[in-house]
Amino acid sequence: MRERTAQLAGKFEIQSEPGQGTTIRVTVPTSYVPNPPGSKHTEPPR
């Protein structure tokens, strides 16, 4: 999950509290284009 989120230029967070459970939050931009035509970039912007 963490790798795929990074590929999409997103944010991955895990929050865990004993007795309270775990929350996993993934946020990705909706306008991200991984490899637009003519692009020489192979990694998402950071």
Average pLDDT of the chain?
A: 83
pTM of the model: 0.56
pLDDT in tens, 5-23: 998 889 999 999 999 999 9
What are all long-range contacts of 5-13, with beta carbons under 8 Å and residues at least 24 apart?
A: 6/44, 7/34, 7/44, 8/32, 8/34, 8/44, 9/44, 9/45, 9/46
Q: Where are the domains of the chain?
A: 1-31
pLDDT of 45 higher than 60? no
* 37/22 Cα distance (integer angstroms): 40
